[in-house]
Amino acid sequence: MQDERTEYRGVYVNGEFHDGVDSFRVENPATGEPIATVAESGEQGVDDALESANRAQPEWAAMDPADRGRLLYRFAEAIADHAEELGEVVTRENGRPIGQSKGLADSAADYIEYYAGLTTKIEGETVPVPGTQQAFTRKEPLGVSAQIVPWNAPLLLCCRGIGPALAAGNAAVVKPAPEAPLGPLKLGELATEADLPDGVLNVVPGDGVTTGAALTDDPRVDEITFTGSVSTGQTVGKTAIDNVVPTALELGGKSPAIVFEDANLEGAVEGAMKALTLMSGQVCFATTRVFVHEARYDEFRDALREAVESVSIGPGIENPDLGPLVSEAGLGKVRRYVEQALENGATALTGGRTPDRDGYFYEPTVIEGADDDAPISREEVFGPVINLYEFSDEAEAVRRANDTEFGLYATVWTNDLGRAHRVANGIEAGSVMVNQYSGSYPQTPFGGHKKSGLGREKGMQAIDHYTQLKTVNIEYGDASDGALDG
Ligand code: NAD
């Protein structure tokens, strides 16, 4: 089923491309046209990748950690050197405006660089025990890490997971999303160019139910990192429990922003605009519920409407403010949520339509008057849609912000220091930003409370996830004096 008009990419295993059991098309969401034919790995590709990863891992783990770090620095450099090309590849497959895509390619390099610096700092502890014994802990690699990646930020999310996994001495097999496999496949090639040993990083494109499930359910996998929706995360999590392997689940969100009466309104509007336009709102931490104090509601709403109405829309490659949604299915979902909200009495302050053009575009949309328990207020819409709500006091704002099954991220806008601390403490979310939107770095831990996930990515904490602790206790006196209990 290889299409002569498009480029072809294989399965990346053991430092080279191979054919798969089948193939699938990747399309440009700005036009709906096919741009590549990609091999479906299937069970065979997964089998080859796991064999290669398991062969490469012991030597990778046994390498002088400083040398492992040097190779990862080279990998980071290769990514940064190719940021322009990587950005274009990703924009063509997932539609993201090119300026954002290049920025994320640079951020992907930053993740590898951060973890390259940690290879020599993965330390155990000495533990006080009685007599002539010396007890200490070692942080040892788990083995082979399976990384399941979504389409919305494929390079960054891939490097966020493989950075700590490889730094700790694991090998990795990445399963990118079928909508956006080209960027992660290029990362595989760059790892080889940077002299990472063959098999340390493999990329197995394909769909979730065949290739993804074959990977996560294989007994040769020692850890699973899943980034995606709650429902798929639950399936993957059950598999991990069945195989008794550690898993990190990075799932969805319904992030609130709270704008208090003393807020810098310009900053708060800018934050809402970023949330609306970054990847067309198809971001796990996108602010989708904005609670504005009644004293400033009208002012905020007018400023937001004005800003939204000046947004440029177009193909990602032209670097507009707002690109297309990733697929026809994604567009259909957004339309359904907005139509249902409008049928139930909410109003669109602006947007609420598809522009008259090819591709999967949706106008930036601000909804007012939706109930707190309406589907559009509670579920992930994953599009350029924000809901506005009015509140009267701090306790009410925190209660309504927390009234969701998600808990990934939240933003607070206030110039009152005491309130900033109180509200940040009261919000049920893995990350809380005050007076800024985004504000995330490789060194800042990230993950979800409630149904937004399990475990933490990023920061030094991620190293703990990709290692297992071993206790060693050495009796160095007369063995008969040793305290042998249990
Ligand atoms: P998805 O759950 O549909 O797919 C995610 C990945 O899982 C894809 O690679 C898919 O092919 C794979 N998959 C599907 N079924 C599988 C199975 N049975 N076994 C193994 N793998 C399987 O999610 P999506 O639509 O690609 O991504 C959007 C979701 O990701 C949103 O919910 C978003 O909030 C979330 N997300 C979370 C974070 C985070 O860091 N918390 C970051 C980005 C996206």
Task: Looking at the structure, tell me whether residues 200 and 298 fall in a common domain.
Answer: no
- Tell me the pLDDT tens digit for each residue of 125-172: 999 999 999 999 999 999 999 999 999 999 999 999 999 999 999 999
Known catalytic residue: 328? no
Model confidence band, residue 484 (pLDDT cutoffs 50, 70, 90): low
- Specify if 416 maps to a domain: yes
- Determine the pLDDT at residue 440: 86
- Tell me the pLDDT tens digit for each residue of 392-428: 999 999 999 999 999 999 999 999 999 999 999 999 9
- Looking at 217, 251, 285, which one is the last position of a domain? 251
Place of tokens 């990587």: 86
Which own/partner pairs from 425-428 qualify as long-range (CB within 8 Å, at least 24 positions apart)?
426/398, 426/402, 427/256, 427/398, 427/401, 427/402, 428/402
**Helix or strand (DSSP H, E) at 49:** helix 42-62
Task: Looking at the structure, tell me whether residues 232 and 302 fall in a common domain.
Answer: no
Model confidence band, residue 483 (pLDDT cutoffs 50, 70, 90): low
pTM of the model: 0.96
Task: Looking at the structure, tell me whether residues 41 and 110 fall in a common domain.
Answer: yes
pLDDT of residue 2 exceeding 70: no
- Cα-to-centroid distance, 347 and ligand 1 (Å): 31
- Specify if 327 maps to a domain: yes
- Determine the pLDDT at residue 6: 74
> Using a 6 Å cutoff on CB, does residue 151 contact ligand 1?
yes
The SS3 call for residue 18 is strand
Sequence-distant (6+) residues with CB within 8 A of 151 are: 93, 94, 176, 177, 178, 179, 180, 326
- Specify if 350 maps to a domain: yes
- Cα-to-centroid distance, 280 and ligand 1 (Å): 17
Nearest CA residue ID for atom 18, ligand 1: 209
Angle at alpha carbon of residue 354, lines to 352 and 357, rounded to 5°? 155
pLDDT of residue 3 exceeding 70: no
- Specify if 441 maps to a domain: no
Q: How many residues does the chain have?
A: 486
Lowest mean pLDDT among 13-22, 193-202, 292-301, 471-480: 471-480
Look up the domain containing 204 and give its range. Answer: 7-251
In contact, 135 and 473? CB cutoff 8 Å: yes
> Using a 6 Å cutoff on CB, does residue 110 contact ligand 1?
no
Q: Could you give the count of Cα atoms lying within 13 Å of 228 in the half-sphere of its Cβ? A: 21
- Specify if 458 maps to a domain: no
In contact, 148 and 224? CB cutoff 8 Å: yes
In contact, 137 and 127? CB cutoff 8 Å: yes
Residues forming a β-bridge with 146 = 173, 224
- Looking at 216, 251, 286, which one is the last position of a domain? 251
- Residue 317 sits in a domain whose CATH number is 3.40.309.10
> Using a 6 Å cutoff on CB, does residue 445 contact ligand 1?
no
> Using a 6 Å cutoff on CB, does residue 207 contact ligand 1?
yes
- Specify if 218 maps to a domain: yes
- Determine the pLDDT at residue 482: 52
Q: Which of 113, 189, 223, 250 is catalytic?
A: 250
Task: Looking at the structure, tell me whether residues 297 and 247 fall in a common domain.
Answer: no
Task: Looking at the structure, tell me whether residues 239 and 308 fall in a common domain.
Answer: no
Pocket test for ligand 1, best of 90, 111, 227 (most atoms within 8 A of CB): 227
Task: Looking at the structure, tell me whether residues 127 and 182 fall in a common domain.
Answer: yes
Pocket test for ligand 1, best of 160, 254, 284 (most atoms within 8 A of CB): 284
- Specify if 447 maps to a domain: no
- Specify if 373 maps to a domain: yes
Place of tokens 């949330």: 275
- Looking at 434, 455, 476, which one is the last position of a domain? 434
